[in-house]
Structure 1
């Protein structure tokens, strides 16, 4: 399956967790194994599945570290989570409408009828089983805990039948677990209205312009309201953004939340993105309190003529923004980085024109990508791919006229390799040197484009032949 195609699927799913037990290749049930420094039991066997026979993958070592039969996994940072069904087969997720646009696994296991499955926590570098839990599952999905910590959620949905007068009722219990299988928090959701789990919160649509955030494990719910005549405050689980008209930003970033003022209007002022403290609601940063970067058009009163603005990333006290370049330049954006404490711009700005409506290219369809160390970013422009340095906005390179247009998919952890598709085919992928633009491979099958574990930097691919994990090149 091509993991870069978003497929629509309407699913009503639930999951129930029961007592844990050991698996055949894990530690003995009920016995606490001696653990090494990585958390994996000492002397745990290395996973040995099929041998990778596909094409060489730029950015990865020539030899695999370990493998399993056909499978997908949730990346928990220092461990992979696998789901094994009662028939002994590993679950292969992907293809669901809410799956992340970065190609990672969102919903790993789902079924209309609850059934027993085993959850396997495997060491990223060796594949050795760290722990197993036996589960009766309707749903197993990736999520995040507070401050972006990788986690997974399980759901148990129960239905109270009508007695003839009362209405049928539905209650969903949501339990979030960490990479070692420890329970991080639990919550209940009444009714069958849709909700999402993100950053340790339940996210629900309160009304057209308002989202409600309920802390998992207890705490006072908070409401995030987007202002403006036509504001429509919604949450896109595919990229964890809040959409308040044409403004976009991460809904929750660590200890902060975002909302949009004057959404979808320009009657008096352009749109404003406001960043607030998650716990208190106090304003921390606002696009109205900083100077727009060079390249953004202003009117004779010094007000920017485009209301469009986005936040692409918040990290290490800095905020990466994208501003609409002008009222009649709907496909042109200017990126700039700001210091949160002072509000001052760091480095320069970079202006790009996008081929299509910007909602299809910037932080919505997944074509703005970052290296794991957040040194480099790449985006799809009307000239093809452009690469720039996140810290100061300095352009590294942009495609030239006459070259085949390339849309970036992802960068390797250290920003050494950029993978992307061309206008000719979505089935094969280019791999280029991210610093020099030199082509490394021109016809890598799309299923063989690696994902990278967030903590170890190891790369992995999931194909019909198996699940294969590699060290990065040079290790």
Structure 2
């Protein structure tokens, strides 16, 4: 994806990414059942349809439980379902700006706030732990502080013009945790905003983002710098979009911004990580040495402005650097220690297939196992699997093989992906052993590619026959 494609997408996002968001007035109708071993209001695991599909590598042969056709938001130890006033489960299909990992972003959407029921079901048994009646026009996946999975329930209210005043829209957002308990609630003007990490995220001019804590407190601001700088928030990837530089906007107690996020750049763009509470800089790509394989000019500056932060965890930053001005689709990954700024382990260098239809975060990125011990990159030759900790390549496809696009890992290392015979053929979905490259299944229906809930390791699929939840293979 070239710089101008990214900027165009960022502009579209900033203009209308989350139009239609709103909040709830939660009415707790399931407060009596105790969260934990109790089955909840339904008092028993659901008895849904029987699974008659193919065996799925990485999962047990039989599901632990099932429901009629439905989709869910994964909250870790629970799955969140939405029922409309007629008792029908939301399917969560067809909404724009969905996450790139295949999970559900927006589960329920209506033009105006309507009654709905939230069901928090135990991921292992399917028993309802809590049920809440709300009035909402949108239910979406989000995160609370430190990446804790949560659900945001929106409701809009519009005050019509009296003939002289302007029509006014306000939106209320209520965030619930996996146990159905309310984590925070806030009301804001308008409906063009997003919710992440316990903050309302709003565009504030071309180069700034306003971050307002949902539980109260002063709003903060993230500003990208540079001549005619632009930056925005991409809810599909949860990244700040600053031209050629991308990073998680908020990750735990840190936030990122872009220096020299310019449309006319004299110097390479830099990613700067600051303390979310204070704005103090704690790490910057400007202060570290680019990994081996990144081209530098005679002044020691990078010849490419392309730069990404892929992950921040355990005191380390995982990065991807554009290899050079004349290698726009080649990236070099490297891990750095936050405290000392030194590179940890080696690096991996990959060339990615250039696609004119690629408008989201796929180039320069990887898919990870849940414990982040393995990553799979989508390269020109297909899939390459590597270790983020030390940059070691585990295996890679070679010329002459059917190039596989990696999609996601199971907790036990099964990698699911897709292949195509040519540009005009349909995609074929398969599963391989992520550590050995052994093909485990060469033709899976797309609906049967599982998502996985952590920390249980249970996998789930949603098909036109039903919603099925499986233990991990061997559990």
| Equivalent-residue separation in structure 2 for 1:335 and 1:208 (angstroms) | 30
> SS state of the match for residue 349, structure 1?
strand
Work out the CA distance in 2 between the residues paired with 1:458 and 1:105: 16
- Does 2:44 correspond to 1:45? yes
CA contact (8 A) 1:361 1:380 kept: no
Name the CA distance, whole Å, in 2 between partners of 1:258 and 1:246. 14
Alignment of 1:62-73 (within 5 A): 62-73=61-72
Deviation at 1:195, TM superposition (A): 0.6
Q: Deviations over 1:235-285 (max 9, x none)?
A: 110010111111111111111111111124675421111000000000010
Q: C-alpha displacement at 1:20, in angstroms?
A: 2.1
Q: Of 29, 39, 54, which aligns to 1:21?
A: 29
Could you say which residue in structure 1 is the equivalent of 2:208? 210
> 1:427 offset after TM fit, Å?
4.5
Aligned partners of 2:128 and 2:433: how far apart in 1?
35
Counterpart Cα distance in 2 of 1:191 and 1:84:
26
1:314 equivalenced with 2:322 (yes/no): no
Q: Which ranges of structure 2 fall in alignment gaps of 5 or more residues? A: 1-15
CA shift, 1:115, in A, is 2.4
Report the alpha carbon displacement of residue 164 of structure 1 after superposing the two structures with TM: 2.1
Q: What's the CA shift string for 1:102-145, capped at 9, x where partnerless?
A: 11111111111332221111000000010101122211111100
Cα distance in structure 2, aligned partners of 1:67 and 1:298:
55
- Three-state SS of the structure 1 residue aligned to 2:286 is helix
Shift of 1:297: 1.1
Structure 2 Cα separation of the partners of residues 43 and 18 of structure 1:
20
* Counterparts in 2 of 1:35 and 1:146: CA distance versus 1, 3 Å: closer
Alignment: residue pair count: 457
**Pairing of 1:27-426 with structure 2 (within 5 A):** 32-34=32-34, 36-37=36-37, 40-41=39-40, 44-192=43-191, 194-264=192-262, 267-356=265-354, 360=358, 363-364=361-362, 368-414=366-412, 416-424=413-421
How many angstroms does 1:286 deviate by?
Answer: 0.3
Larger deviation, residues 83-92 vs 369-378: 83-92
2:172 aligned counterpart, secondary structure = strand
1:359-418 CA distance string (max 9 Å, x none): 94983479621110010111111111111001111111110110011111001123x211
Q: CA deviation digits over 1:316-371, x for unaligned, max 9?
A: 11110000111111111100011111111111011111111699498347962111
Q: State the distance in 1 between where 2:237 and 2:18 align.
A: 19
Deviates more, 1:353-362 or 1:420-429: 353-362
**3-state SS of 2:308 partner:** strand
Shift of 1:15: 4.2
How far apart in 1 are the matches of 2:69 and 2:287? Answer: 51
SS at match of 2:447: helix
Provide Cα deviations, 1:154-188, integer angstroms capped at 9, x if missing partner: 11211112222222111111111111111111111
Post-superposition offset of 1:191: 2.7
Quick check: 338-347 or 261-270, which moved more? 261-270
TM-score (norm 2): 0.92
Equivalent pair of 2:41/2:128 in contact (CA under 8 Å): no
SS at match of 2:324: coil
In the alignment, structure 1 segments of 5+ residues that lack a partner are 1-7, 23-29
8 Å CA contact 1:13–1:111 kept in 2: the answer is no
Distance 2:80 2:36 in 1: 19
**Residue pair 1:121, 1:129 contacting (<8 A) in 2 also:** yes
Partner of 2:432: 432
8 Å contact 1:102–1:366 — kept in the other structure? Answer: no
Distance 1:152 1:365 in 2: 29
2-structure distance, mates of 1:215, 1:36: 29
